[in-house]
Amino acid sequence: MNSSSRRGSVTRFLLATVLAALAAVGGLALLMNIFERKQEAKVPFFKVVDITDDTTDPAVWGKNFPLQYDDYKRTVDQVRTRYGGSDALPRTPTAADPRTVVTQSKIEEDPRLKKMWAGYAFAADFREERGHAYMLDDQTFTDRQKVAKQPGACLNCHASMYTAYKKAGDGDLMKGFEKICALPYAEAAKLVEHPVACIDCHDSQTMALRVTRPAFMEGMRNLKAAQGVKDYDVNRDATRQEMRSYVCGQCHVEYYFKGPEKKLTYPWHNGQKVEQILAYYDAAGFKDWTHKDTGAPALKAQHPEFELWSQGIHARSGVACADCHMPYKREGAHKISSHHVRSPLLDINRSCQTCHKWSEQELKDRVETIQTRFHNLRNVAMDALMDLIDDLKAAQAAGATDDQLKAGREFQRKAQFFFDFVEAENSSGFHAPDEAARILGESIDFSRKGQKAVRDLLPRPAIVAPTASIP
């Protein structure tokens, strides 16, 4: 072997030795990192403060759960998607309303809503929704409070209520719930400090998900009973994956105030489809108000996201609300649910691409296509309802009696409730596209049948005899 060959061999040996050393160091570093992450993952949180069922302030929970709390605080943001979200509009605060920012008015964007709700508080004020951080302020300072005396039951979905219910009932959740429901809103509001917070969804000792709203507990018990399941207890019988929807369904639902005690009730005794809920209201003889222009016994749907979602493909596939609106994410070794609750379209990678292997743009386009079709059909249904209201007004002006108007008014009640069921639902039809389209189609049909029912009551245009021709 010549000197050149020997030098080459030595060089290769040294290079191999260096590479082996680097690989060993890299492997050791990787193993140390894995070990550190495993150790980190064994301790999901550090207990800095004691938390009990009396700890309502989310900032205190945040000392033990800083990652989740940081996300929770981000619900102050206002970001629009094509058909959702809201704009932050500056406002001059007053003594009566200290808010410096509000959202755009829906009844100004679409005056047909005001006509639909004529005589009801929503015709006075109805704005685009914004994040959980604002839910208590926006309920407290809405102009609807000036029009109608709202009960304490309204706080169920706008404030951190679990501890307040327990205290009001001397430890009995149901008794406290019933007591606060019956209070005037202003009096009940003195019992709470925060919007919906950690305590409303999590057990203070185990951090397990739990339902804290008695109305939902009773609603699910009635729903399961209708399905043949007796004595259903949501906190005992629901799976963890179901709970990741149920804690959201505590508030994102249709409801009404039952009786003079204003007990918040979820009308699921027959089922959660819109016609099943309407049948319950009809049997109970319930109406939200009498329509000012037509005299119809009208109903106002609230925000039935849970009900519509339950009719969709995601619910049937076992996808929970939190999977899309609070998707899992990694923070170091920790896997946590994002508590920055918002539209999945603002986090397509985590919310959608976990299951759907298409580009973000394609997934966004698919959602917006569904929502655009929904809004087009929504406008057709709204116009049909406006036509029915106009015909009923004209028939009344022509002297039609209540008996003559009864059928038309009943069709208005049906058309309006079906329309409002998906109008008040905040997914623009996406939670269950086929069901939303069916409901709007039924609403159109009810409106046109109502017009037919009052056709003979309408004043007929005068028939002008033709002028004789001059030879």
373-404 pLDDT tens trace:
999 999 999 999 999 999 999 999 999 999 99
63-81 pLDDT tens trace:
999 999 999 999 999 999 9
446-471 pLDDT tens trace:
999 999 999 999 988 766 666 655 55
Q: Is 289 helix (H, G, I), strand (E, B) or coil?
A: strand
pLDDT at 19: 65
What is the percent of the chain where pLDDT is above 70?
A: 88
Of the candidates 408, 415, 386, the one whose C-alpha atom is nearest the C-alpha of residue 458 is 408
User: What distance in Å separates the CA atoms of residue 57 and residue 72, rounded to the nearest whole number?
Assistant: 12
Of the candidates 391, 36, 122, 435, the one whose C-alpha atom is nearest the C-alpha of residue 272 is 435
Residue 332 binned pLDDT confidence (cut-offs 50, 70, 90)? confident
Q: Is residue 443 within 8 Å of residue 419, measured between CB atoms? A: yes
**Residue 75, token pair as written in the block:** 């619900």
Domain 58-351 class in CATH: mainly alpha
Look at the block and give the residue holding tokens 């407290």.
140
Contacts 24+ apart (CB under 8 A), 436-442: 436/308, 436/374, 437/373, 437/374, 437/377, 439/274, 440/374, 440/377, 440/378, 440/380, 440/381, 441/377, 441/381, 442/275, 442/414, 442/418
pLDDT at 22: 61
pLDDT at 369: 98
Who has greater pLDDT, 391 or 8?
A: 391
Domain boundaries, the chain: 58-351, 355-456
DSSP secondary structure letters along 294-353? T--EE------HHHHHTTSHHHHTT--HHHHHS-EEEETTEEEE------GGGSHHHHTT
pLDDT at 390: 98
Nearest 5°: the CA angle 355, 359, 360 is: 85
Q: Are strands 89-90 and 101-102 parallel, antiparallel or unpaired?
A: antiparallel
- The listed CATH number (3.40.1010.10, 3.40.50.11260, 3.90.420.10, 1.20.140.10) that belongs to domain 355-456: 1.20.140.10
Question: Can 58-351 and 355-456 be said to share one CATH topology?
Answer: no
pLDDT at 26: 59
Q: Is 263 helix (H, G, I), strand (E, B) or coil?
A: strand
pLDDT at 334: 85
